[in-house]
Amino acid sequence: MANDVKLNIDARFDHARDVIKAAGKRAMEYYDGIAGDLQIEAKANALDMVSIADKNVEAIIRDRIADAFPEDGFLGEEMGIEKGDNDCLWVIDPIDGTACFVNQIPTWCISVALMVGTEVVIGMIYHPCGDEFFSAKKGEGAFVNGEPFKAHDAKTVGDGLMGFGASHRTTSAEISGFVTDLIDRKGMFVRNGSGALSMAYAAAGRLIGYYEPHINPWDCMAAILLMREAGGWTNDYLGAPDVLEKGAPILLAGPNVADELCEMTGIARG
């Protein structure tokens, strides 16, 4: 990490915190006025609905961060990648859980992470409907609305609720196999429609972990840092080939159930 970037992580964090909350306010304006007015387009995958709100919220985040740090790059769900003049890359999901958003179900959020080279150094997930702000800086712990939190201390998958996500990018066998194994082990799962929000809950110890057979980087980059800073474990997502373009499986776990979940998913403990 270049020295000038090191010196400005705090400034980037403070600015991004204000930006994500402003973006959340704008997203809530769309959400509150959604009764038939929001334009919805179909992506290649029908589950990945996109609205004008996604595009405009991402534009707010990109534009306001770029105004303050014009040398930084961006990777966003809606606008793709724009390389910067340094090693900083902001990874943005403007509305994770768009299907919930457009159907007026409150389990959606905004996710923003900062990578410097191959390290995630800032992670933020904001849930506007609940006004919960999950945040972490590398090496400084994880917080929700300023209060520190820790990952779940469950000893087995039967000791708590497991977060789980899936999409049409994975096979039905991958999905059903994991769920069957979890239930056979006396566990239970929840799928709320937003991987990023579920992973924030896992980092905060509300869930014992989170698994998704394939996920895109903008959905999970912030949560990876949240979980690690909360004392939990994650797989080496960034070590997957071409992960920023192709995505990869994600597994987050409380420290005591990581081995069991790796056995269940086939993900290397590492």
Q: Identify whether residues 122 and 173 lie together within a single domain.
A: no
- Decide which of 105, 127, 148 is a domain's last residue: 148
- Predicted pLDDT of residue 174: 84
Low-confidence ranges of the chain (pLDDT < 50): 1-3, 7, 46-47
Sole residue written with tokens 């994991």: 178
Is 229 inside a domain boundary? yes
Distance (Å, rounded) from C-alpha 15 to C-alpha 97?
A: 24
Which residues sit opposite 252 in a β-bridge?
210, 234
Q: Identify whether residues 131 and 209 lie together within a single domain.
A: no
- Predicted pLDDT of residue 237: 97
The CB density around residue 29, as the number of other CB atoms within 10 Å, is 12
Helices (H), the chain: 3-7, 9-32, 52-68, 98-102, 172-184, 195-203, 217-229, 243-246, 258-265
Which domain, by its residues, includes 167?
157-265
- Predicted pLDDT of residue 36: 53
Q: Identify whether residues 47 and 103 lie together within a single domain.
A: yes
- Decide which of 148, 170, 185 is a domain's last residue: 148
Q: Identify whether residues 10 and 98 lie together within a single domain.
A: yes
Q: Identify whether residues 165 and 184 lie together within a single domain.
A: yes
- Predicted pLDDT of residue 1: 47
- pLDDT tens string 237-256: 999 999 999 999 999 999 99
- Predicted pLDDT of residue 52: 86
Based on DSSP, count helices (H) and strands (E) in the chain, helices before strands.
Answer: 9, 15
> What is the tally of structural domains in the chain?
2
Distance of CA 169 to the CA centre of its chain: 18
Q: Identify whether residues 162 and 211 lie together within a single domain.
A: yes
- Predicted pLDDT of residue 79: 83
CA angle 41, 24, 57 (to 5 degrees): 40
- Decide which of 85, 115, 148 is a domain's last residue: 148
- Predicted pLDDT of residue 168: 81
